[in-house]
Amino acid sequence: MMRDPTDELQPETQPGIATAEGGLVFLDGPDGVATTMTPEAAAETGQSLIDAAATAERQQATANV
C-alpha cells in the first residue's frame, strides 16, 4: 500500500529484537515485521541504523533550539 505523502508519520517507539542462530541473524520488529540476514548484512544494517539515529538526534536538537 502506498503511503499518502500528506499522512502524518507515526514513528515506531519499540525497538526490534535481534537474535543469532545457525550463523544467521534474525530481527523481529514490532507489528510482526521480521527479517533474516547474514552476519555481514546485519552488521552493515546495524551501523546504518546507528548513523541515521545520530543524524536524527542532531536534527531534533537543532529543531528544538
HSE-CB of 16 using CA atoms within 13 angstroms: 17
Q: What does the block give as the cell for 63?
A: 529543531
- The model's pLDDT over 27-58, given as tens digits with 9 standing for 90+, comes to 999 889 999 999 999 999 999 999 999 999 99
The answer to pTM > 0.85 is: no
